Structure 1
């Protein structure tokens, strides 16, 4: 993966973390909403596991974030 892609992906994950915290959700609560364990959410947030597109959409919607806006913001920084 190119450094540009790694940077944008990192920004995207950072935005998801901020959105989750703004929604006052714990990792465990988000996990419950998406049918996953807290460790799944933790690994994503720590960069130990990558999200595919379908998972990104599911997580974004579970925290009440607009996935399109998250992508635009990650690319713009």
Structure 2
């Protein structure tokens, strides 16, 4: 069994987590304050260096005024789109838009 930490579905999960934060117009530091954590932890989670368990994910989403059901539906849609070829294929790792190449 391969490690899911470096799998395409995990990349999609992390991308969605970041996209939700950004859609709420929250910086990593803003989310960190809401969570009572450091900005470094937010960065580590979004980069895939640190994983969230389910209870942490629920708290993380609540801090962004999002619920687990909505997030799960969005994740499912993105994963289905990725399988169907309409997702963001070809990206090796998550990077902010400003760092993506042409």
User: Normalising TM by the smaller chain, what interval?
Assistant: 0.7 to 0.9
Q: Aligned ranges for residues 32-71 of structure 1 at < 5 Å?
A: 32-71=33-72
* CA drift at 1:3: 6.8
C-alpha separation between the residues in 2 aligned to 1:34 and 1:60? 10
1:64/1:2 Cα in 2 relative to 1: closer, same or farther (>3 Å)? Answer: farther
Tell me the matched-pair count. 77
3-state SS of the aligned residue for 2:9? helix
How high is the TM-score relative to the length of structure 1? 0.83
Which gives a bigger RCO, structure 1 or 2 (Cα 8 Å, sep 6+)? 1
C-alpha separation between the residues in 1 aligned to 2:25 and 2:61? 14
C-alpha separation between the residues in 2 aligned to 1:19 and 1:37? 19
List structure 1 segments (4+ residues) > 4 angstroms apart after TM superposition: 1-5
Residue by residue over 1:19-47, the C-alpha shift from the partner in whole angstroms, topping out at 9 and shown as x without a partner, is 11111111011001011000000000000
* Structure 1, unaligned runs of 5 or more: none
Q: Which has the larger radius of gyration?
A: 2
How high is the TM-score relative to the length of structure 2? 0.65
Q: Over aligned residues, Cα RMSD in angstroms?
A: 2.1
